[in-house]
Amino acid sequence: MANELIEFVLVSVALLGIGIYGLSVKRNAIRMLFAIEIIINAANLNLVAFARFMPDSGGQTLALFSIAIAAAEVAVGLALIIVAYRMYQNVDIADFRSLKG
Amino acid sequence: MTGVQLMADAAFLALAVVTIGAAIAALELRSLIYGSIALMGSLGGIAGFFLLLDSPFVALFQLAVYVGSIAVLILFTVMLVKRELIFKKIEDKRRKWAGIGLMLIFMVAIGSVIIDSGLKSVTTDEPPVDFRDIGADFVTYYWPALILMALILAGSVTGALVLARREDVENGKRTD
Protein backbone atom coordinates (compact mmCIF):
# COMPACT_ATOMS: atom_id res chain seq x y z
CA MET A 1 0.00 0.00 0.00
CA ALA A 2 1.76 3.10 -1.24
CA ASN A 3 -0.46 5.74 0.33
CA GLU A 4 -1.01 6.52 3.98
CA LEU A 5 -4.30 6.42 5.82
CA ILE A 6 -4.20 10.07 6.79
CA GLU A 7 -4.24 11.25 3.16
CA PHE A 8 -7.60 9.58 2.55
CA VAL A 9 -8.98 10.86 5.86
CA LEU A 10 -7.97 14.42 4.98
CA VAL A 11 -9.70 14.21 1.59
CA SER A 12 -12.75 12.94 3.45
CA VAL A 13 -12.60 15.90 5.87
CA ALA A 14 -12.39 18.30 2.90
CA LEU A 15 -15.45 16.69 1.27
CA LEU A 16 -17.34 16.85 4.57
CA GLY A 17 -16.51 20.55 4.90
CA ILE A 18 -17.72 21.25 1.35
CA GLY A 19 -20.92 19.34 2.10
CA ILE A 20 -21.55 21.33 5.27
CA TYR A 21 -20.94 24.56 3.35
CA GLY A 22 -23.48 23.49 0.72
CA LEU A 23 -26.08 22.54 3.30
CA SER A 24 -25.74 25.81 5.19
CA VAL A 25 -25.56 28.24 2.25
CA LYS A 26 -27.67 26.81 -0.58
CA ARG A 27 -31.44 27.18 -0.58
CA ASN A 28 -32.06 25.14 -3.73
CA ALA A 29 -33.44 21.79 -2.56
CA ILE A 30 -31.65 19.88 -5.34
CA ARG A 31 -28.32 21.48 -4.48
CA MET A 32 -28.84 20.53 -0.84
CA LEU A 33 -29.33 16.95 -1.99
CA PHE A 34 -25.99 17.24 -3.84
CA ALA A 35 -24.38 18.36 -0.56
CA ILE A 36 -25.88 15.40 1.30
CA GLU A 37 -24.52 13.05 -1.38
CA ILE A 38 -21.05 14.55 -0.98
CA ILE A 39 -21.19 14.05 2.81
CA ILE A 40 -22.32 10.42 2.41
CA ASN A 41 -19.44 9.80 0.02
CA ALA A 42 -16.97 11.28 2.49
CA ALA A 43 -18.24 8.79 5.06
CA ASN A 44 -17.95 5.89 2.60
CA LEU A 45 -14.39 6.88 1.74
CA ASN A 46 -13.53 6.77 5.44
CA LEU A 47 -15.12 3.34 5.84
CA VAL A 48 -13.20 1.81 2.96
CA ALA A 49 -9.93 3.54 3.92
CA PHE A 50 -10.01 2.31 7.51
CA ALA A 51 -11.06 -1.16 6.31
CA ARG A 52 -8.02 -1.29 4.02
CA PHE A 53 -5.61 -0.43 6.83
CA MET A 54 -7.10 -2.81 9.41
CA PRO A 55 -7.35 -4.94 7.09
CA ASP A 56 -10.85 -6.28 7.45
CA SER A 57 -13.69 -7.02 5.04
CA GLY A 58 -16.31 -5.54 7.40
CA GLY A 59 -15.66 -1.97 6.34
CA GLN A 60 -16.22 -2.74 2.66
CA THR A 61 -19.40 -4.64 3.49
CA LEU A 62 -20.67 -1.69 5.49
CA ALA A 63 -19.74 0.67 2.64
CA LEU A 64 -21.79 -1.44 0.22
CA PHE A 65 -24.78 -1.28 2.57
CA SER A 66 -24.28 2.45 2.91
CA ILE A 67 -24.22 2.98 -0.88
CA ALA A 68 -27.44 0.98 -1.31
CA ILE A 69 -29.24 2.87 1.45
CA ALA A 70 -28.03 6.17 -0.02
CA ALA A 71 -29.61 5.16 -3.33
CA ALA A 72 -32.94 4.62 -1.55
CA GLU A 73 -32.57 7.96 0.23
CA VAL A 74 -31.96 9.80 -3.03
CA ALA A 75 -35.02 8.22 -4.66
CA VAL A 76 -37.28 9.31 -1.79
CA GLY A 77 -35.62 12.73 -1.51
CA LEU A 78 -36.09 13.47 -5.21
CA ALA A 79 -39.72 12.34 -5.04
CA LEU A 80 -40.27 14.71 -2.11
CA ILE A 81 -38.65 17.54 -4.06
CA ILE A 82 -40.90 16.81 -7.06
CA VAL A 83 -44.02 16.87 -4.86
CA ALA A 84 -42.95 20.13 -3.21
CA TYR A 85 -42.12 21.60 -6.62
CA ARG A 86 -45.57 20.67 -7.88
CA MET A 87 -47.18 22.38 -4.89
CA TYR A 88 -45.10 25.57 -4.87
CA GLN A 89 -43.73 25.71 -8.45
CA ASN A 90 -40.33 26.38 -6.92
CA VAL A 91 -37.37 24.48 -5.48
CA ASP A 92 -36.41 27.21 -3.00
CA ILE A 93 -36.65 25.74 0.48
CA ALA A 94 -37.54 29.17 1.86
CA ASP A 95 -40.86 28.72 0.03
CA PHE A 96 -41.45 25.38 1.71
CA ARG A 97 -41.80 27.03 5.12
CA SER A 98 -45.56 26.61 5.08
CA LEU A 99 -44.97 22.86 5.21
CA LYS A 100 -44.37 23.50 8.91
CA GLY A 101 -48.12 23.92 9.25
CA MET B 1 11.19 7.11 -3.50
CA THR B 2 10.37 4.25 -5.80
CA GLY B 3 8.52 4.45 -9.07
CA VAL B 4 5.44 2.73 -7.67
CA GLN B 5 5.28 5.23 -4.80
CA LEU B 6 5.57 8.14 -7.23
CA MET B 7 2.83 6.73 -9.45
CA ALA B 8 0.52 6.17 -6.49
CA ASP B 9 1.17 9.69 -5.21
CA ALA B 10 0.47 11.20 -8.63
CA ALA B 11 -2.74 9.19 -8.97
CA PHE B 12 -3.81 10.18 -5.47
CA LEU B 13 -3.14 13.86 -6.11
CA ALA B 14 -5.01 13.82 -9.42
CA LEU B 15 -7.98 12.02 -7.86
CA ALA B 16 -8.05 14.42 -4.91
CA VAL B 17 -8.05 17.45 -7.22
CA VAL B 18 -10.79 15.96 -9.42
CA THR B 19 -12.97 14.86 -6.49
CA ILE B 20 -12.76 18.05 -4.43
CA GLY B 21 -12.85 20.35 -7.45
CA ALA B 22 -15.88 18.60 -8.88
CA ALA B 23 -17.62 18.70 -5.49
CA ILE B 24 -17.12 22.47 -5.32
CA ALA B 25 -18.24 22.80 -8.96
CA ALA B 26 -21.37 20.74 -8.25
CA LEU B 27 -22.41 23.27 -5.64
CA GLU B 28 -21.22 26.44 -7.33
CA LEU B 29 -21.88 26.06 -11.08
CA ARG B 30 -24.78 28.25 -12.17
CA SER B 31 -26.59 25.58 -14.16
CA LEU B 32 -28.05 22.66 -12.23
CA ILE B 33 -27.44 20.35 -15.21
CA TYR B 34 -23.70 21.08 -15.27
CA GLY B 35 -23.80 20.86 -11.48
CA SER B 36 -25.18 17.35 -11.58
CA ILE B 37 -22.59 16.34 -14.18
CA ALA B 38 -19.89 17.74 -11.87
CA LEU B 39 -21.41 15.72 -9.03
CA MET B 40 -21.00 12.64 -11.24
CA GLY B 41 -17.33 13.53 -11.62
CA SER B 42 -16.93 13.83 -7.88
CA LEU B 43 -18.60 10.48 -7.25
CA GLY B 44 -16.44 8.91 -9.97
CA GLY B 45 -13.37 10.32 -8.22
CA ILE B 46 -14.46 8.59 -5.02
CA ALA B 47 -14.70 5.36 -7.04
CA GLY B 48 -11.10 6.00 -8.10
CA PHE B 49 -10.10 6.32 -4.45
CA PHE B 50 -11.75 2.96 -3.79
CA LEU B 51 -9.62 1.46 -6.57
CA LEU B 52 -6.51 2.97 -4.96
CA LEU B 53 -7.58 1.36 -1.70
CA ASP B 54 -7.60 -2.08 -3.39
CA SER B 55 -11.40 -2.37 -3.17
CA PRO B 56 -12.42 -2.95 -6.80
CA PHE B 57 -15.79 -4.42 -5.87
CA VAL B 58 -16.86 -1.34 -3.92
CA ALA B 59 -15.47 0.87 -6.69
CA LEU B 60 -17.57 -0.87 -9.34
CA PHE B 61 -20.61 -0.79 -7.07
CA GLN B 62 -20.06 2.93 -6.59
CA LEU B 63 -19.83 3.44 -10.35
CA ALA B 64 -22.95 1.38 -11.03
CA VAL B 65 -25.12 2.86 -8.29
CA TYR B 66 -23.94 6.46 -8.04
CA VAL B 67 -22.56 7.41 -11.45
CA GLY B 68 -25.00 5.10 -13.20
CA SER B 69 -28.37 5.34 -11.53
CA ILE B 70 -28.40 8.19 -9.02
CA ALA B 71 -26.85 10.68 -11.42
CA VAL B 72 -29.44 9.80 -14.08
CA LEU B 73 -32.21 10.13 -11.48
CA ILE B 74 -30.94 13.57 -10.51
CA LEU B 75 -30.60 14.64 -14.16
CA PHE B 76 -34.20 13.65 -14.88
CA THR B 77 -35.45 15.52 -11.81
CA VAL B 78 -33.50 18.60 -12.88
CA MET B 79 -35.09 18.34 -16.31
CA LEU B 80 -38.57 18.30 -14.74
CA VAL B 81 -37.89 21.66 -13.13
CA LYS B 82 -38.74 24.93 -14.90
CA ARG B 83 -36.04 26.29 -17.18
CA GLU B 84 -35.44 29.53 -15.33
CA LEU B 85 -35.09 27.71 -12.01
CA ILE B 86 -32.30 25.55 -13.45
CA PHE B 87 -30.16 28.59 -14.19
CA LYS B 88 -31.10 30.66 -11.16
CA LYS B 89 -28.80 30.60 -8.16
CA ILE B 90 -30.85 30.47 -4.98
CA GLU B 91 -28.72 31.25 -1.97
CA ASP B 92 -28.44 33.65 0.92
CA LYS B 93 -25.80 36.21 0.04
CA ARG B 94 -25.24 37.06 3.70
CA ARG B 95 -24.90 33.44 4.61
CA LYS B 96 -22.38 32.72 1.88
CA TRP B 97 -19.33 34.15 3.67
CA ALA B 98 -20.50 32.72 6.99
CA GLY B 99 -20.77 29.33 5.28
CA ILE B 100 -17.29 29.59 3.79
CA GLY B 101 -15.96 30.61 7.22
CA LEU B 102 -17.73 27.67 8.86
CA MET B 103 -16.28 25.32 6.26
CA LEU B 104 -12.73 26.62 6.75
CA ILE B 105 -12.96 26.57 10.56
CA PHE B 106 -14.34 23.04 10.42
CA MET B 107 -11.66 21.82 8.02
CA VAL B 108 -8.82 23.42 10.01
CA ALA B 109 -10.15 22.23 13.37
CA ILE B 110 -10.89 18.62 12.41
CA GLY B 111 -7.86 18.48 10.10
CA SER B 112 -5.47 19.62 12.83
CA VAL B 113 -6.96 17.16 15.31
CA ILE B 114 -6.48 14.35 12.78
CA ILE B 115 -2.94 15.43 11.86
CA ASP B 116 -2.00 15.60 15.55
CA SER B 117 -3.46 12.17 16.23
CA GLY B 118 -1.65 8.90 15.77
CA LEU B 119 -3.20 8.35 12.32
CA LYS B 120 -0.20 10.00 10.67
CA SER B 121 2.04 6.99 11.00
CA VAL B 122 -0.52 4.37 10.00
CA THR B 123 0.60 2.39 6.97
CA THR B 124 0.09 -1.22 6.06
CA ASP B 125 2.00 -3.88 4.20
CA GLU B 126 -0.69 -6.50 4.53
CA PRO B 127 -2.37 -7.86 1.41
CA PRO B 128 -5.75 -6.38 0.56
CA VAL B 129 -8.98 -8.10 1.51
CA ASP B 130 -10.18 -10.53 -1.15
CA PHE B 131 -13.55 -9.45 -2.49
CA ARG B 132 -14.77 -13.02 -2.14
CA ASP B 133 -14.66 -12.41 1.62
CA ILE B 134 -17.28 -9.67 1.15
CA GLY B 135 -19.57 -12.13 -0.59
CA ALA B 136 -19.04 -14.63 2.20
CA ASP B 137 -19.82 -11.88 4.75
CA PHE B 138 -23.03 -11.04 2.94
CA VAL B 139 -24.44 -14.56 2.90
CA THR B 140 -23.25 -15.67 6.33
CA TYR B 141 -23.01 -13.04 9.05
CA TYR B 142 -24.95 -10.21 7.41
CA TRP B 143 -27.80 -12.11 5.72
CA PRO B 144 -30.58 -10.59 7.91
CA ALA B 145 -29.22 -7.13 7.15
CA LEU B 146 -29.12 -7.99 3.45
CA ILE B 147 -32.78 -9.03 3.45
CA LEU B 148 -33.70 -5.95 5.47
CA MET B 149 -31.85 -3.78 2.98
CA ALA B 150 -33.72 -5.38 0.09
CA LEU B 151 -37.03 -4.64 1.84
CA ILE B 152 -35.97 -1.05 2.56
CA LEU B 153 -35.00 -0.56 -1.09
CA ALA B 154 -38.29 -2.00 -2.31
CA GLY B 155 -40.21 0.11 0.20
CA SER B 156 -38.39 3.29 -0.70
CA VAL B 157 -38.87 2.82 -4.44
CA THR B 158 -42.57 2.12 -3.90
CA GLY B 159 -42.79 5.11 -1.59
CA ALA B 160 -41.08 7.34 -4.12
CA LEU B 161 -43.50 6.20 -6.86
CA VAL B 162 -46.51 6.82 -4.61
CA LEU B 163 -45.19 10.24 -3.62
CA ALA B 164 -44.50 11.33 -7.18
CA ARG B 165 -47.86 10.12 -8.55
CA ARG B 166 -50.07 12.88 -9.85
CA GLU B 167 -53.34 12.91 -7.99
CA ASP B 168 -54.99 15.34 -10.36
CA VAL B 169 -54.74 12.92 -13.30
CA GLU B 170 -57.60 10.46 -13.70
CA ASN B 171 -58.03 8.05 -16.61
CA GLY B 172 -55.17 9.75 -18.38
CA LYS B 173 -56.84 13.17 -18.22
CA ARG B 174 -56.07 16.10 -16.00
CA THR B 175 -58.97 17.12 -13.83
CA ASP B 176 -57.76 20.68 -13.25
Three state DSSP letters for B57-79: HHHHHHHHHHHHHHHHHHHHHHH
Pairwise pLDDT comparison (B163 vs B90), residue with the higher score: B163
pLDDT value for B80: 85
pLDDT value for B175: 57
Q: Is B90 on the interface with A (CB under 8 A)?
A: yes
Q: Give chain B's mean pLDDT.
A: 87
pLDDT value for B81: 84
Cα–Cα distance measured from residue B176 to residue B174, given in angstroms and rounded to the nearest whole number: 6
Q: Is a pLDDT exceeding 70 seen at residue B163?
A: yes
Q: Which residues does B135 contact at the CB level (< 8 Å), separation at least 6?
A: none
Q: Sorting pLDDT into bands at 50, 70 and 90, what band is A99?
A: low
Q: Give chain A's mean pLDDT.
A: 88
CA distance B169 to chain A (A): 13
Q: What pLDDT digit, counting tens, does each position of A44-64 carry?
A: 999 999 998 887 888 899 999
Q: Is B108 on the interface with A (CB under 8 A)?
A: no
Helices A29-53 and B32-52: crossing angle in degrees, nearest 10, is 0
pLDDT value for A67: 92
pLDDT value for B22: 95
**E-state strands within B72-149:** none
Domain edges within chain A: 5-89
Pick from A3, A25, A83: CB nearest B96: A25
Q: Do A68 and B65 touch (CB under 8 A)?
A: yes
Q: Which architecture does CATH list for A5-89?
A: Orthogonal Bundle (1.10)
Q: What pLDDT digit, counting tens, does each position of B18-31 carry?
A: 999 999 999 999 88
pLDDT value for B35: 92
Q: Please state the pTM of the whole predicted model.
A: 0.90
pLDDT value for B87: 80
pLDDT value for A45: 94
Q: Sorting pLDDT into bands at 50, 70 and 90, what band is A10?
A: very high
Q: Is B106 on the interface with A (CB under 8 A)?
A: yes
